[in-house]
Structure 1
Amino acid sequence: MASILSGCRRCRPAGFVFAHVRRVEQQGYPAGRIIYEFSPVWQRKTFLLQFLIKILRWTVANIYVLINLSISNAWLAASIHANQQLLAAHNIDLVPFDSANADFVPFNISFWYASAGEPLSPALTEKLDTVQSSLDAGRSVLFLGQSADLNIQKNFFAFIQKYLCTEIHSVIPLIIMGKPTLCMEFWWQATPQGVSENLADKWINYAKNTSQLVLQAQDEWDKERLILIPYLHDAITQNSITEISYLVFKLLGIDDIPHIAAPLPFYYFTNTASALRLLEARQVRHNDWPPLDNTSYMAALQKLDQNWGPEPYSPLSYRQALLENGREDQRKLENLLDLPAHSLDAPDWYGTLPEMDASMSLKSERLHAFAETLTPPMRNILLQRFANDHDFLSEDQKALASALAAMEGTEFKRIEEAQEQPVLTVLTMTRNHEKYIGSCIEGVLAQKTDFPVRHLILDHYSTDDTPQIINQYAREYPSIRPVLLNNYHCIYQNVHDLFIRCNSEYAALCDGDDYFIDPCKLQKQMDFLKSHPRCSLCFHPVAVVFEDGQEPGVFPSRDMLPRGIREEYYLSDLFKGNMIQTNSVVYKWRFRDGLPAWFRHDLCPGDWYWHLLHAEQGKIGFLPDIMSVYRRHGSSLYKYSFINRLEHRRKFGMAELETYHAVNEHFQDRYLLPLAKLANGVLCDFLEIFMKEGDKHFLDLACESYPKFGKFFLSQLTLTNQPPVAQEVPK
């Protein structure tokens, strides 16, 4: 019988001692199920402890804090996340996760990085209210997270002390400690874009001072409520995660067998560099289309990963430095965990095996073994992914594509070779538009043209049914090419990932919540651009529809058009304001050969910037027909611009100033004056916020960050109400 704690003699909740947890197989349970049985010496104390925990949990709401400083961190959190209903049935609620990352990193990150000395954001206030509601209802709560930084952990503890009633509710930390050496290796794996020297030195400092995290927790909370759990495995496997999951649920007073989450397609779920590279290879620039069964993919990868042996990412010199400088702290940690000496020693390879050279090709035998492990449908989906985005394949993806094609007995070819190349591409960005995306797609499909059209639709990790709707259309219409981002990346990365895939001669824009209403729109605009060769883009007015019942409008209105309605406008006209609604424009696409290094994909509003870059190369054509609909609804990006101007400026004002600054940099001050006048609109609103509310943060930050605009703004200010002149009081 194997001890999962490998010699741990003391996990100490509420003054009691656990010892020698053994793994036994029992009849009646599925193969591989692990049931925990405590050694006879401690069975009576264990039974009493579990009884007291259950009584306490149902009478007083506790605040459980699971801090996992081991390589099991992400997978254990995913398994706890998968057992929310089981926890709820035992009167324990999970603290709300950060929604953008919950599927991949189910931690309470926003709480860990909050400061007890700073005002709470609205989003964090809402999460905190949810936690307090659970506690008020007599339900315990469970925080998930960790940080190797002492200051961050200290701030988190202070945050709990300040905002939750710790004098009423007991705080019970459960701290899982793994081998610090392996934790550093996993941090390295999770940073494939590269680790700077400063960051590497910081990680070594964290890893060689791990015992301080335990001591700090002991100083902050009642030692007798602190539960220390060693995790001594050198790799993450289904069995090791099963063991630690069962133990954690036992310590929470839950005897039911928890569901163990399947490994997620994310960092921290693989052990070797080869497996991590093959994990990344399944998507070309984050595109998760056509849909792939990630659970089966990870199962196939893990089956081989366990036998591929150690392949460290971290440089050998850093590992040797940690071994040399971390010995004393390791002994302290072993004493705190009541472990025998050397229990936390690194595996033998740690101080001798060189780091894997990322520039070296993946071993062909591993590629073919992996291709053989995949099912034929999975191989075909991967080949289609690689064909769709052939121009962006990494060396690993090219090698995997060859191995897959060889397994299928086919030749790897681009899909485009068998399809008519588009003359115009409609570019759509969407997120959580399940109510609208169908109208957008139907509007493009209804277009009557004498040239081929492709519809590129990028979904930015929607949490509703938007991706499923897009996929359903794509199966029926080959002209639709989805780009389904698999994670919530930097909010403006979607622009880059969409634009680099467009290499047609012309491009049109239509966001996922807007749509075309004239079936001849694209043909009319193409005909116009061909008959007006001096124009590099053209646009038309759009109908503006408000979902809240406001009277529909037209954009741009006549008074927004510089010099009235004309057939052609100039670049200088566009500097007076953005008169071109996104879904009205067609460009002579200037980025057919890819995006230049200077292109800013992170600007908001981005469409005005794109219009300017195309207008730099020719005139702006105008067609008077209304041919599209622009929706205004409660979840639209600029929802406050027509409702609450100052709220809109709080949210987007600094981003708008950054756009003006980026445009000025691009045009090298040639249009500084009109840009400064546009910036005045933002700065005036910041001034109004200061005068009405006394909050000068926005105004100070804007003038400090953009001194050219700030200087111009101050030069334009005039005082309309002069303060009264003090008069001498007669004696």
Structure 2
Amino acid sequence: MSKLFKSPKLVIWMVTYNHEKYIEQAVESIMAQQTNFDFQLFIGEDCSTDNTRNICLELKNKYPDAIKLVLNNKNIGSNKNGMSMYDLCYKSNAKYIALCEGDDYWTDSFKLQKQVDFLEANPDYEVCFTNINIINDKGEETKEQLITTSPKTTYTQKDLPLRVPTLTRVFKNRDFSNLQIAPGMDTIILLYQAQFGKIKYIDEITGTYRQHDSGAYTSKSKAKRKEHNFLTLFGCLQLLKPPLLYKYYGMLFKKLVELKRLNSALFKKRQSQLKKEYKSKKSSFSKKEQRNIAIGFLLLKTPFFEHSKLLSKVILILLNRKFIY
């Protein structure tokens, strides 16, 4: 990739922070892509405290035309950094965007070509993703493939939330700047994208997800991870209308049940947040749905369930039956 890409067909979104051990492999796996179209890598380096920035500068020098490197003057956090890079990708006027974080990497040199070929041939699809394997910090494989069963290969908004590996996604370029920032923006963005078209799963492994203790999600405590999941689903509410809105309330109740067993203070805070939101959306639900949501809040008051795995399991089953299945 030696020529200047004035108008690439595809841009790759990448964010990185303290990835000195991984960033070179991530970038080189992208530079190894074989395509019949131009692409460019956009890297947002978030003021790392290790040698990540220097490595990024070296890679920029190695691939001056293929990499656009953004060096933040101060650390702004993964969500703001990510949304800033989405905005730059959107303004590139590329037709498609692909995702890969700085601690993951691609393993199929024809990954982009396969996914773009599909999207070009199927304009009613908005997003295309594939399978991955998982390794630990030592590079040892811990999971041969993330998705072990796939009953179908086409999904719509009603199927969400869905396990869609971030590092494999390729999608049409859209403006995400009006979305409210929340943990798990990849989940919220996918929900937004599903308004415009279908989601395609290609049953091939094209990348590797690296699980390590310093990851943005894995470094959190178990309670904080549950809160993260709650806030992700809560952030989805901004995009939902009945009947999907009702389903997501059920999932939020389930996250609160799990959170109550781990941290009562976080549980109370997020329960209060959901109650306030419900009051503003109550008229969106049918009378039957309103009754079931009231039951959901009552179930959260069940005494001592946070100390009983069996009682918690019973409550989760009831929530599934009332809201989801």
* TM-score where L is the length of structure 2: 0.80
Among 235, 238, 242, the alignment partner of 1:662 is 235
- Alpha-carbon distance between aligned partners in 2 of 1:541 and 1:658, rounded to the nearest angstrom: 26
Among 507, 523, 539, the alignment partner of 2:129 is 539
- Alpha-carbon distance between aligned partners in 1 of 2:293 and 2:134, rounded to the nearest angstrom: 34
- Alpha-carbon distance between aligned partners in 2 of 1:681 and 1:542, rounded to the nearest angstrom: 28
Match of 1:495 in 2: 82
Matching of residue 552 in structure 1 with residue 143 in structure 2: yes
How far apart are residue 711 of structure 1 and its match? 4.6
How far apart are residue 716 of structure 1 and its match? 5.1
How far apart are residue 496 of structure 1 and its match? 2.4
- Alpha-carbon distance between aligned partners in 1 of 2:253 and 2:136, rounded to the nearest angstrom: 28
Segments of 5+ residues of structure 1 without an aligned counterpart are 1-417, 642-646, 690-694, 722-731
Among 482, 502, 517, the alignment partner of 2:107 is 517
Most deviating of 458-467 and 657-666:
657-666
Match of 2:186 in 1: 607
Provide, for residues 398-427 of structure 1, a one-character-per-residue CA deviation record: whole Å limited to 9, x for no partner. Answer: xxxxxxxxxxxxxxxxxxxx7431100110
Matches within 5 A, 1:109-124: none
- Alpha-carbon distance between aligned partners in 2 of 1:491 and 1:441, rounded to the nearest angstrom: 18
Among 44, 57, 67, the alignment partner of 1:480 is 67
Greater RCO, 1 or 2 (C-alpha within 8 Å, sep 6+): 2
Please tell me whether the aligned partners of residues 424 and 506 of structure 1 are also in contact (alpha carbons under 8 angstroms): yes
Among 674, 696, 704, the alignment partner of 2:264 is 696
Task: Give the SS at the match of 1:540.
Answer: strand
- Alpha-carbon distance between aligned partners in 2 of 1:428 and 1:421, rounded to the nearest angstrom: 18
Amino acid at match of 1:531: A
How far apart are residue 550 of structure 1 and its match? 6.8
- Alpha-carbon distance between aligned partners in 2 of 1:609 and 1:481, rounded to the nearest angstrom: 26
Match of 1:653 in 2: 226
Relative to structure 1, is the Cα distance of residues 535 and 635 closer, same or farther in structure 2, using a 3 angstrom cutoff? same
Between Structure 1 and Structure 2, the one with more strand by share is: 2
Relative to structure 1, is the Cα distance of residues 679 and 571 closer, same or farther in structure 2, using a 3 angstrom cutoff? same
Provide, for residues 23-74 of structure 1, a one-character-per-residue CA deviation record: whole Å limited to 9, x for no partner. Answer: xxxxxxxxxxxxxxxxxxxxxxxxxxxxxxxxxxxxxxxxxxxxxxxxxxxx
Relative to structure 1, is the Cα distance of residues 488 and 640 closer, same or farther in structure 2, using a 3 angstrom cutoff? closer
How far apart are residue 669 of structure 1 and its match? 4.6
Among 679, 682, 693, the alignment partner of 2:255 is 682
Relative to structure 1, is the Cα distance of residues 484 and 640 closer, same or farther in structure 2, using a 3 angstrom cutoff? closer
- Alpha-carbon distance between aligned partners in 2 of 1:553 and 1:488, rounded to the nearest angstrom: 34
Amino acid at match of 1:509: L
Matching of residue 466 in structure 1 with residue 52 in structure 2: yes
Task: Give the SS at the match of 1:629.
Answer: strand
Among 286, 296, 299, the alignment partner of 1:713 is 296
* TM-score where L is the length of structure 1: 0.37
Matching of residue 581 in structure 1 with residue 165 in structure 2: yes
- Alpha-carbon distance between aligned partners in 1 of 2:5 and 2:115, rounded to the nearest angstrom: 24
Please tell me whether the aligned partners of residues 517 and 628 of structure 1 are also in contact (alpha carbons under 8 angstroms): yes
- Alpha-carbon distance between aligned partners in 2 of 1:584 and 1:665, rounded to the nearest angstrom: 25
The percentage of counterpart residues that share the same residue type is 26
Task: Give the SS at the match of 1:538.
Answer: strand
Please tell me whether the aligned partners of residues 429 and 511 of structure 1 are also in contact (alpha carbons under 8 angstroms): yes
Match of 2:36 in 1: 450
Please tell me whether the aligned partners of residues 703 and 711 of structure 1 are also in contact (alpha carbons under 8 angstroms): no
Amino acid at match of 1:552: K
How far apart are residue 657 of structure 1 and its match? 2.6
Amino acid at match of 1:542: I
Relative to structure 1, is the Cα distance of residues 635 and 435 closer, same or farther in structure 2, using a 3 angstrom cutoff? same
Relative to structure 1, is the Cα distance of residues 710 and 469 closer, same or farther in structure 2, using a 3 angstrom cutoff? farther
Please tell me whether the aligned partners of residues 426 and 507 of structure 1 are also in contact (alpha carbons under 8 angstroms): yes
- Alpha-carbon distance between aligned partners in 2 of 1:636 and 1:704, rounded to the nearest angstrom: 29
- Alpha-carbon distance between aligned partners in 1 of 2:35 and 2:121, rounded to the nearest angstrom: 16
Relative to structure 1, is the Cα distance of residues 711 and 542 closer, same or farther in structure 2, using a 3 angstrom cutoff? farther
Task: Give the SS at the match of 1:448.
Answer: coil
Task: Give the SS at the match of 2:81.
Answer: helix
How far apart are residue 567 of structure 1 and its match? 2.9
How far apart are residue 453 of structure 1 and its match? 0.5
Matches within 5 A, 1:10-159: none
Provide, for residues 468-526 of structure 1, a one-character-per-residue CA deviation record: whole Å limited to 9, x for no partner. Answer: 11111111211101111110125421022211111311000000000000000000000
Task: Give the SS at the match of 1:633.
Answer: coil
Matches within 5 A, 1:305-704: 419-477=5-63, 478-502=65-89, 503=92, 504-547=94-137, 551-558=142-149, 561=150, 564=151, 566-575=152-161, 578-591=162-175, 595-596=176-177, 598-600=178-180, 602-639=181-218, 647-648=221-222, 650-689=223-262, 696-704=264-272
Please tell me whether the aligned partners of residues 8 and 40 of structure 2 are also in contact (alpha carbons under 8 angstroms): yes
Task: Give the SS at the match of 1:454.
Answer: strand
Amino acid at match of 2:74: N
- Alpha-carbon distance between aligned partners in 1 of 2:59 and 2:235, rounded to the nearest angstrom: 38
Task: Give the SS at the match of 2:97.
Answer: strand
Match of 2:322 in 1: none
Amino acid at match of 1:636: G
Task: Give the SS at the match of 2:236.
Answer: helix
How far apart are residue 663 of structure 1 and its match? 1.5
| Greater gyration radius | 1
Provide, for residues 156-195 of structure 1, a one-character-per-residue CA deviation record: whole Å limited to 9, x for no partner. Answer: xxxxxxxxxxxxxxxxxxxxxxxxxxxxxxxxxxxxxxxx
How far apart are residue 679 of structure 1 and its match? 1.6
Task: Give the SS at the match of 1:627.
Answer: strand
Match of 1:644 in 2: none
- Alpha-carbon distance between aligned partners in 2 of 1:676 and 1:556, rounded to the nearest angstrom: 26
Relative to structure 1, is the Cα distance of residues 424 and 508 closer, same or farther in structure 2, using a 3 angstrom cutoff? same
